[in-house]
Amino acid sequence: MNKLKLRLQLEQYFLEDIGDRDLTSELIFGEGQIGKVIFLAKDNGIFCGEEIVRSGFKVLNPAAEVNIKVRDGEWIEKGQILAEASGPVSDLLKGERVILNLVQRISGIATKTNEAVRVLNSSHTKICDTRKTTPGLRMLEKYAVRAGGGFNHRYGLYDAVMIKDNHISFAGSIAKAVEEVRSKIGHMVKVEVETETKEQVLEAAEAGADVIMFDNRSPEEIKEWIRSVPNGIVTEASGGITLDNLQAYSDTGVDFISLGFLTHSVKSLDISVKVIVE
């Protein structure tokens, strides 16, 4: 995780919530009143967000003392103390809600990713995410996928070519679309082609795609079509795959399975904050 980018994002998140000041805390607590906040797990799952807790309170007060008791990617149990932070009460209260919301969100993503990895139970096929992330939270959500044992797909529209059905329709064919991008990109950029038929798979392979995606295809179709993919071309399955049918894809031979639900509809992990005024 890019710590500089995280700090800049945290400043924006705090600005949105605090505005000019925390009216309630400043009216009740004096500047010198010291306290502690304790993060407690209220459910079992995978923890993610240690740097958010560490950096978050220090953005508001560099002198804040933060003690992280678990590492990202660790399994946590209900009732477990996850982190503590000490400092002026007004500063702790300014930050605890934003920090807690973020930690709950990405811990939920890490937990769901870990569940998907365990359900798939494959020594070959890897679980990865998609671009179906929350605007402004992509870096954190993709980090959470890694913490849960998954892998990242492209980060955005800028770091890889992904030729989808609409691109193919406008270009006229897969071959023409691949030829067009190959003539304009450097050797470090990968080209992925989304396919829906065996004929498209063959065309994508012939065109020199680096990655071929089987879009909304059954495990049986993938098992058959993947035999036509030359060695050296990475394969991916996506679309219509849920936790309920995920295990059926474990022996298809596909290299990656991308799952939008890891980030777009995940439930936050239940974590609470206890405040102690000293």
Positions marked catalytic: 97, 132, 164, 194, 215
95: exposed, middle or buried (C-beta count within 10 Å: 0-12, 13-18, 19+)? buried
Contact predicate 132/264, CB 8 Å: yes
Q: Which two tokens stand for residue 98?
A: 């934003």
Q: Cα dihedral sign for 85, 91, 92, 94?
A: negative
264: exposed, middle or buried (C-beta count within 10 Å: 0-12, 13-18, 19+)? middle
Contact predicate 30/267, CB 8 Å: no
Q: Which stretches does DSSP call E strand in the chain?
A: 34-41, 45-46, 65-68, 75-76, 81-88, 126-128, 161-163, 191-195, 211-215, 234-238, 256-258, 271-277
Distance CA 80, CA 78 (A): 6
